[in-house]
Amino acid sequence: MKKAIVSAALGVAALGLAASGAVAGTLDDVKAKGFVQCGVSQGLAGFSNPDDKGNWTGIDVDLCRALGAAIFGDSTKVKYTPLSAKERFTALQSGEIDVLSRNTTWTATRDTSLGLNFAGVNYYDGQGFMVRKELGIKSALELSGASICTNTGTTTELNVADYFRANKMEYEIVAFEKADEVVSAYDSGRCDVYTTDQSGLYSQRLKLTNPGDHIVLPEIISKEPLGPVVRQGDDQWFNLVKWTHFAMVNAEEMGITSANVDEKKGGDDPAIKRVLGTEGAFGEALGVGNDWAYNIIKQVGNYSESFERNVGPKTPLAIARGVNALWSDGGLQYAPPIR
Amino acid sequence: MNSKPNIAFVRDHMDAAMPPPSSEVGALGWMRRNLFSSVSNTILTLLVVYVAYLIIPGSLEWSIFNAVWEGTDRLACATTQQGGELPVGWHAACWPYVIAYSKLFIYGRYPDPELWRVNLVLVMFFAGLVPLLMPSVGGKRVNLIFMLGIFPVLALVLLSGGNFEFGQSFWEKYAIFSLAVLVAVFLYMRATENSAMGAVKSTAIGLAIFAAVILFISADFGLVSIETPLWGGFVMTLVIAVTGIVVSLPLGIILALGRRSQMPAVRLFSVIFIEFWRGVPLITVLFMSSVMLPLFLPDGVSFDKLLRALIGVALFSTAYMAEVIRGGMQAIPKGQYEGAMAVGLSYWQSMRMIILPQALKIVIPGIVNTFIGLFKDTTLVSIIGLLDFLGMIVLSHSDPKWATPVQALTSYLFCALVFFIFCFSMGRYSIFMENRLNTGHR
């Protein structure tokens, strides 16, 4: 019996050893193994969470699917590794995953000291406050003396400290380990304010007894640009991840959607033809097929489609585009041209 | 007897016994004896009844009578304030959410068309386990060989798809290793005993069985390969718990023997192993295995995450098991050891036939205690991103499709129920075995 277990261990170990290759070029490795290994969260509504069928959905997941579409022409050739916040960077550094698409904030420390590169921003988030309407508060500057519910061990706690100290206001932190506990504490009146990333406020609001009684204050007290991360020193792979996101943003700007991409492909707009690969060889330069962007748009959609499907006003989260609108609509999403 | 002499009064039959006073029989009598036998008992009984009255109706109302049983999304379990139909103030269980997620809770993200493989493994597991646990069913030897030898290999092949790659170099190394082991055994046995060929033969059989198992799991059965990140839910909890239990008992016995051994090297190794693994928290072990280990390994080499966790959990519980068993061995009177020696039994014979059967019997509660603890500790693997039963439940809280104030509470209630059923069954079985093996020494 012991032998059986030893052999089982050896067998699985051998499988693990066989499955991982050298780290010469991530793109070549990915092409050789036939799928993209994508690190995602352990469940964050709208960004990466499995639905009740077990399929991963969300904005971050769409980026992984777009990578699959760009490389293999098949958005299903992606495997997901759910990672906790603590182990996410190690998983990327050790080569366990090819790309980390896990609502990760781009900061100077992370970009410079971890041997990692941020390949763009696919969602601009920021820390916000939620309060009860009945308090009649209109601005975060009126929150002096408030008790504030939040998660332990995250930057949100530090941001609150900075903000309140800068504005010379008193406050009291009530911190919990899990998001569920924070919500129920706030809901039962143990604190006046609930603070976390604004996208999180919208998703947690669904768990309140009476969502209509609460408002999200307009102030954003921190910048949280969330984006995909790759290992430093592999520029080809870095470029591909970067331009996968840009392709989706460019497609929105040009009005190319998954529904009309075939129709647009036949048109004569040279800019669109360059994106869809009927003119020029931009895919080749990235190391993938020239129809890379066509496949992304056809199978995953443009940035707007991804946004609307996962977090937009028609979803339970009901988040407005806000700063995530295109630059031409007054937002921050701006992609360099494909030419 | 009718022609008896006429004596004034001879009682020729006994009066029927009077019925006991009504206060001593039936429900009333039982209650008098057990619930109201003294003032303090009466007070305690009333207190318990009051507490039960406070808790039970509310829990039943929350979990059953007021609960929602049908629906397709969060609106089924939302009050009018939350955008649904239910009256304001409604707060009860939302079962359609658990039902919609039941497949994910049980199997994790295992692909639908391959679910029969998991089901087959579960059927084999229970079909093998139940007769093994029932003393009245015969064929224990065959059953044990199946459960400990054949079942793990079959389960591994079925769950993962088999077809593991070993390559030429593995077989070459294995051949050299086997040859070296055989030569070593032969030389050692010739130096100490006469029957060298017998020992060599049994070692060769062991090595051959191992090779056969490797051949079996590297064979292609046409099963689709399912990587461990797709495993999850209750099946993963069972995989971790069963592996931990199956590994920890035999290894624990060996370590317990080692710690009481006369050989200093063996004793030192056992002590260091046990004290090391008992000295570190399980969370640390899991964290080291998932976060630190990949950094120490050479670039590009990575072990399967589940395998790392399995090894960590198994070694951890082995250390605890060893101490539990050592406790049992220390409770055996010295006379038993001396008696065994006096009748000329060798060390292994006396352990196998005299000491261990008694020691293990004494520590059944301790062993089952460790098993139950291990079973519940498996939930810690969710902190390293493995989606076991509890991990899957927590993950489902992030689905906005079902997000309501009662979502988390309902799923935690479900989780508690499932764990209670399994742990309670283990506890009852341990009591049953204790009574069966009780030889009246207590």
pLDDT tens column, A219-251: 889 999 999 999 999 999 999 999 999 999 999
Q: What does each C-alpha distance from A262 to A239, A258, A303, B135, B413 come to in angstroms?
A: 26, 8, 17, 70, 50
ipTM for the predicted complex comes to 0.79
- A316 to chain B: which residues are within 8 Å by CB? 74, 400-401, 403
- Contact with chain B for residue A177, Cβ under 8 A: no
Q: From CA B197, how far away is CA B218, in angstroms rounded? A: 31
| Backbone region of residue B163 per phi and psi (left: phi > 0; alpha: psi in -120 to 50; beta: other values) | left
Domains, chain A: 21-124+225-329 (3.40.190.10), 127-222 (3.40.190.10)
> Containing H/E element for A36?
strand A36-40
**Nearest alpha carbon to residue B401 among A306, A317, A182:** A317
Instruction: Give residues with Cβ within 8 angstroms of B215, minimum separation 6.
Output: none
DSSP A315: S
DSSP B61: I
Q: Which of A268-272, A277-281, B306-310, B417-421 has maximum average pLDDT?
A: B417-421
Q: Assign B439 to helix, strand or coil.
A: coil
**pLDDT value at residue B69:** 93
**Nearest alpha carbon to residue B107 among B238, B242, B240, B233:** B233
Q: What is the 3-state secondary structure (H, E, C) of B221-282?
A: CCCCCCCHHHCCHHHHHHHHHHHHHHHHHHHHHHHHHHHCCCCHHHHHHHHHHHHHHHHCCH
Q: From CA A48, how far away is CA A102, in angstroms rounded? A: 7
Judged against a pLDDT cut of 50, whether residue A145 lies above it is answered with yes
Query: Phi and psi at residue A150, in whole multiples of 5°?
Result: -160, 175
Q: What residue in A sits closest to B231 (Cα-Cα)? A: A54
Q: Is there a contact between B396 and A52 if contact means CB atoms under 8 Å apart?
A: yes
Q: Is there a contact between B165 and A3 if contact means CB atoms under 8 Å apart?
A: no
Query: Which of A6, A40, A206, A317 to mutate to probe the B interface, most B CBs <10 Å?
Result: A206
Q: What does each C-alpha distance from B142 to A125, B148, B214, B232, B355 come to in angstroms?
A: 62, 10, 22, 31, 25
pLDDT (mean) for A54-61: 93
**pLDDT value at residue B218:** 85
Q: From CA B205, how far away is CA B196, in angstroms rounded? A: 15
- Contact with chain A for residue B103, Cβ under 8 A: yes
pLDDT tens column, B228-252: 888 889 999 999 999 999 899 999 9
Q: From CA B140, how far away is CA B260, in angstroms rounded? A: 30
Confidence of residue B3 (pLDDT cuts 50, 70, 90): low
Closest partner residue to B399 among A3, A42, A51, by Cβ? A51
Closest partner residue to B400 among A4, A45, A180, by Cβ? A45
Name the percent of chain B lying above pLDDT 90. Answer: 48
Give ∠ CA B115-B116-B118 in degrees, rounded to 5.
65
Structure tokens at A266: 């036949």
Among the residues of B260-363, which ranges form H helices?
264-279, 282-287, 293-296, 305-330, 334-342, 347-350, 356-362
Judged against a pLDDT cut of 70, whether residue B302 lies above it is answered with no
> Containing H/E element for B216?
helix B196-218
Q: From CA A175, how far away is CA A150, in angstroms rounded? A: 5
- Contact with chain B for residue A170, Cβ under 8 A: no
Q: What residue in A sits closest to B78 (Cα-Cα)? A: A209
Judged against a pLDDT cut of 90, whether residue B173 lies above it is answered with no
Helix axes A2-19, B233-259, angle to 10 degrees: 120
Q: What is the DSSP string of B145-209?
A: HIIIIIHHHHHHHHHH------HHHHHHHHHHHHHHHHHHHHHHHHHH-S-HHHHHHHHHHHHHH
**Nearest alpha carbon to residue B389 among B107, B201, B182:** B107
Contact of A43 with B395, CB cutoff 8 Å? yes
**pLDDT value at residue B350:** 92
- A50 to chain B: which residues are within 8 Å by CB? 104, 109, 395-396, 399
Name the percent of chain A lying above pLDDT 90. Answer: 61
pLDDT (mean) for A118-144: 92
**pLDDT value at residue A3:** 39
**pLDDT value at residue A123:** 95
pLDDT tens column, B66-82: 999 999 988 999 998 88
Among the residues of B12-114, which ranges form H helices?
26-34, 39-60, 95-100, 102-107
**pLDDT value at residue B301:** 62
Q: Is there a contact between A7 and B213 if contact means CB atoms under 8 Å apart?
A: yes
CATH architecture of the domain B228-396 equals Orthogonal Bundle (1.10)
Q: From CA B213, how far away is CA B217, in angstroms rounded? A: 6
Query: Rg of chain A's alpha carbons, rounded to an integer?
Result: 22
Residue B438: CB atoms within 10 A of its CB come to 10
- B164 to chain A: which residues are within 8 Å by CB? 11-12, 14-15
- Contact with chain B for residue A6, Cβ under 8 A: yes
Confidence of residue A20 (pLDDT cuts 50, 70, 90): very low
- Contact with chain B for residue A33, Cβ under 8 A: no
Judged against a pLDDT cut of 80, whether residue A174 lies above it is answered with yes
Confidence of residue A11 (pLDDT cuts 50, 70, 90): very low
- A9 to chain B: which residues are within 8 Å by CB? 307, 310-311
Name the percent of chain B lying above pLDDT 70. Answer: 96
Q: What residue in A sits closest to B386 (Cα-Cα)? A: A82
- B250 to chain A: which residues are within 8 Å by CB? 1-2
Supply the mean pLDDT for chain A.
88
Judged against a pLDDT cut of 70, whether residue A5 lies above it is answered with no
Q: From CA A1, how far away is CA B166, in angstroms rounded? A: 21
Query: Which of B90, B142, B207, B304 to mutate to probe the A interface, most A CBs <10 Å?
Result: B304
> Containing H/E element for A112?
helix A108-113
Q: From CA A52, how far away is CA B109, in angstroms rounded? A: 10
Confidence of residue B186 (pLDDT cuts 50, 70, 90): confident
Supply the mean pLDDT for chain B.
88
- B227 to chain A: which residues are within 8 Å by CB? 79
pLDDT (mean) for B320-324: 95
**pLDDT value at residue A18:** 38
